[in-house]
Amino acid sequence: TAQLADPESNREQQPAYAKNETRSIKPEILVLVGICTHLGCSPSKKFDVGIASGMGEDWPGGFFCPCHGSKFDLAGRVYKGVPAPTNLEVPPHNYLSDTRIIIGVD
Q: Can you give the pLDDT of all 106 residues of the chain as single tens digits? A: 789 999 999 988 899 999 999 999 999 999 999 999 999 999 999 999 999 888 999 999 999 999 999 999 999 999 999 999 999 999 999 999 999 999 999 8
Global pTM value: 0.92
pLDDT of residue 104: 94
In the chain, where do the E strands start and end?
44-46, 62-64, 71-72, 93-95, 101-103
pLDDT of residue 13: 83
Count of domains forming the chain:
1
- Parent domain of 51: 1-106
Q: Are 41 and 68 in contact (CB under 8 A)?
A: yes
- Catalytically annotated residue among 26, 45, 68, 80: 68
Q: Is 68 among the catalytic positions?
A: yes
**Which CATH number is 4's domain given?**
2.102.10.10
Instruction: State phi, psi for 16 to the nearest 5 degrees.
Output: -55, -35
